[in-house]
Amino acid sequence: MNLRIFLAAILACAFCRAEVKTPPQLNKNRAEVLSFFAKNVYGKMPEASFVREAKVIKTEKVPEFSATRKIVRINTLTPLGEKAFNAVCYFPDGFEKTPVFIYISFRPSTETANSRWPIAEILARGASTVSFCYEDVLKDKADVLSCIERKDDSWGAISAWAFAASRVVDYLETESLADASKIAIVGHSRLGKTALWAGANDKRFAMTVANNSGCFGARLHSRNLYGESIERITNFFPHWFAPNAGKLWSGKDYSLPFDQHWLVAAVSPRLMAIGSALDDWWACPPGEMACWEYSAPAWKDRSCINYHVRPGEHELTSVDWKEYLDFAARNKWFSAK
Ligand code: GTR
């Protein structure tokens, strides 16, 4: 990490610390933490039964990537009922079982190459990658859930997208080309919040990556310098959360009885990576860094939680991906270099 950036972040953190209260003590009971966040922030995941199904609808060789591409049609549940979505999967040739990086995408699943999803770089490590478009699961519109009656703890879009990510894992557990013990969930921004919520809930994610995840992601509310507040996010994006999130916590960012480091700690002892960008003030990099710092004691092995900050804007770049892939490599995920 660039020393200047690191020092700037430390200074910002120290400055911030003088302004706000210490976050609440790390709560070590994972089950309690998850039910707290389900009830009071993201909304409860469903217990209703639905058709659990994943069908490979297309398999083809992709010579330019030396890989096999499979399109899988997966059924999930959303607050609006059952929904099928496509996951696009790339498995590198020449490997028996590979770690898998699931990337939740903003882009349509029909699109492949894009700068936020460096398929070739991932495959080059000897890993597979799967992507699905979040809006194929539930539209990202403020009024998307207005047509249904919602209880205060009803699930919102972040829970629905995270639930769908777990349905991808259901499929990967049946896929002979995948090593189901090494599945990573990667998301940027609102999908970084989603990746964190998915990774905290589902232990089958062996690695969780929250990139520039900001408010209600891997960032302390109590260390927010100039970034997004709870009031702003729950007013603009009411559908992302349980109604409780705005009702209970709006305006209380600096006096909450909890903070986001609890949720990050719920990922332990599995691998966790938090990524910031220096100019991403809306997400507040010092608050993300503080979230790493306050959650890290939950890990006995500190090499299992990674933090990086890079220069530049709110984005998921090749620099970030390199960091996450190197982190996996340090934890012995790959047999190839
Ligand atoms: C912003 C939102 C952030 C972040 C971002 C994104 O508008 O305020 O919390 O999620 O969108 O997802 O790009």
Q: Cβ(284)–Cβ(223) under 8 Å?
A: yes
Report strand pairing: 67-78 vs 98-105: unpaired
Q: Does residue 337 form part of some domain?
A: no
Q: Does residue 237 form part of some domain?
A: yes
Report strand pairing: 271-277 vs 305-310: parallel
Model pLDDT, residue 42 = 98
The CATH number linked to 147 is 3.40.50.1820
* Domain carrying residue 19: 3-330
Q: Is 221 a catalytic residue?
A: no
| Counted domains in the chain | 1
**Of ligand 1's atoms, which has the minimum distance to the CA of residue 314?**
13
User: Which residue among 107, 188, 228, 236 has the greatest number of ligand 1 atoms within 8 angstroms of its CB, and so is best to mutate?
Assistant: 228
Q: Which stretches does DSSP call E strand in 134-206? A: 178-188
- Token readout for 179 is 């090593």
Handedness of CA 301, 304, 309, 314 (dihedral sign): negative
236 CA to centre of ligand 1 in angstroms: 10
Q: Does residue 249 form part of some domain?
A: yes
User: Which residue among 42, 189, 212, 234 has the greatest number of ligand 1 atoms within 8 angstroms of its CB, and so is best to mutate?
Assistant: 189
Q: Does residue 152 form part of some domain?
A: yes
Q: Does residue 214 form part of some domain?
A: yes
Model pLDDT, residue 15 = 57
Model pLDDT, residue 6 = 56
Q: Both ends of the chain: CA-CA distance in Å?
A: 21
Model pLDDT, residue 317 = 98
Q: Output Rg (C-alpha) for the chain, integer angstroms.
A: 19
Of 105, 131, 159, 189, catalytic: 189
**Does the C-beta of 228 come closer than 6 Å to ligand 1?**
yes
189 CA to centre of ligand 1 in angstroms: 6
**Of ligand 1's atoms, which has the minimum distance to the CA of residue 216?**
9
Buried b / exposed e over 244-280, threshold 16 CB at 10 Å, is bbbebbeeebeebebbbbbbbbbbbebbbbbbbbbeb
Q: Does residue 239 form part of some domain?
A: yes
- Mean pLDDT of successive 10-residue stretches along the chain, which has 337 residues: 58 55 82 97 90 96 97 97 97 97 91 87 97 98 97 98 98 98 98 98 98 98 95 98 98 96 97 98 97 96 97 98 98 82
Cα–Cα distance measured from residue 84 to residue 78, given in angstroms and rounded to the nearest whole number: 10
Q: Does residue 83 form part of some domain?
A: yes
91 CA to centre of ligand 1 in angstroms: 31
Buried b / exposed e over 166-191, threshold 16 CB at 10 Å, is bbbbbbbeebebbbbebbbbbbbbbb
Q: Does residue 335 form part of some domain?
A: no
